[in-house]
Amino acid sequence: MGQIVVSGLIFGCVYGLAALGLVLIFRTTGLVNFAHGEMAMVSSFVAFTLLSSSEFSYYGAFLAAIAFSALFGVVVFWVLIRHVSQASHLNQLVMTLGVFLAVHGAAGLIWGHTPTSFPRAVEGKPFSIAGVFITPNEIFVLVTTFILSMILFVLFRYTRVGLAMRASSQDLIAARLMGINVNAVFLVTWAAGSVLGGIAGLLTAPFTFLGVSMMFNVLIMAFAAAVLAGFVSLPGAVIGGLMIGIFGNLVSYYWAPEMALVCTFALIVIVLYIRPQGIFGEAQTMKKV
């Protein structure tokens, strides 16, 4: 039981990080990014390509991949998303679906469809804490998630950039009139969101093998976590991710691995039926009729 909860917690960290990126982008720009997982997948492949060229150490490749995901996010925003920022939500959603399909197809052409193994961040034998076995790599995942969510929380709450992000999410026009460069804020948001996704991808790859479809499941679970968080709460996204990770792991152990997804979404529907704004969301008031 304890073992299942702990390994669920590890998956939950990855879901939480991916969800954090989704929520960050949604909160600030009002767009749900379906291509989040696929962009992260590309970053993991970039790290893999750098590693196999053997000029890079693991951490060098890790940092380069993070830089790449920031750049990727910025490019996707500037070239594509910026132009639909005034379009309807449906058009925005289908735009990111299009990016999802295009990136998925392109990655398949470049890196092939055979999954390969990806090195862990920290090698080492599992050791036992209070009867629960845990590997150093899993501790690395936990610590990374904790540090990243703290950094993001501080950034969002206490810095000028964070203030600008919150202002832009509240009222775009007012933010502009107050002298905020909204486009720059959105760029930073997309960069930060993609970095969070990219790190989630780099952490996922050792568990699931590196493949073009590896992030799909993570994306779905991140969506579930984001919905649980009401799509607006940053700490909620991490907590939602952890909850979903543990819940899914319990279901797959005590029932069937395939039912984890079904039960997770049954849970989501029940939660949404009781609280349509999610657990951590606030009741929405209609701004415009």
Question: How far is it, in rounded angstroms, from Cα 196 to Cα 209?
Answer: 19
Q: Does 77 bind another protein (CB under 8 A)?
A: no
Residue whose pair of structure tokens reads 């910025």 in the numeric block: 74
Instruction: Measure Cα distances from 280 to 12, 146, 201, 227, 247 in Å.
Output: 17, 19, 25, 9, 18
Residue from 226, 234, 242, 251 in contact with another protein (CB under 8 A): 226
The encoded tokens of residue 279 equal: 């657990």
The least CB distance from residue 47 to another protein, in Å, is 21
Q: Does 258 bind another protein (CB under 8 A)?
A: yes
117: Cβ–Cβ under 8 A, 6 or more apart, which residues?
A: 206, 209, 210
The least CB distance from residue 9 to another protein, in Å, is 22
* Binding segment (CB under 8 A) for another protein, from list 11-19, 127-135, 195-203, 265-273: 265-273
Helices (H), the chain: 2-29, 36-52, 58-79, 89-111, 136-158, 160-170, 172-177, 182-208, 214-228, 234-254, 259-274
With beta carbons less than 8 A apart as the criterion, state whether 80 and 19 touch.
Answer: no
With beta carbons less than 8 A apart as the criterion, state whether 236 and 230 touch.
Answer: yes
Q: Does 265 bind another protein (CB under 8 A)?
A: yes
Q: Does 172 bind another protein (CB under 8 A)?
A: yes
Closer to another protein at the Cβ: 102 or 143? 102
Residue from 93, 161, 187, 279 in contact with another protein (CB under 8 A): 93
Residue whose pair of structure tokens reads 């939480």 in the numeric block: 16
Q: Does 11 bind another protein (CB under 8 A)?
A: no
Closer to another protein at the Cβ: 66 or 229? 229
Contacts to another protein by CB under 8 A: 26, 32, 80, 83-84, 86-91, 93-95, 97-106, 108-109, 113, 172-173, 176, 212, 220, 223-224, 226-227, 231, 256, 258-259, 261-262, 264-266, 268-269, 272-273, 276-278, 284, 286, 288-289
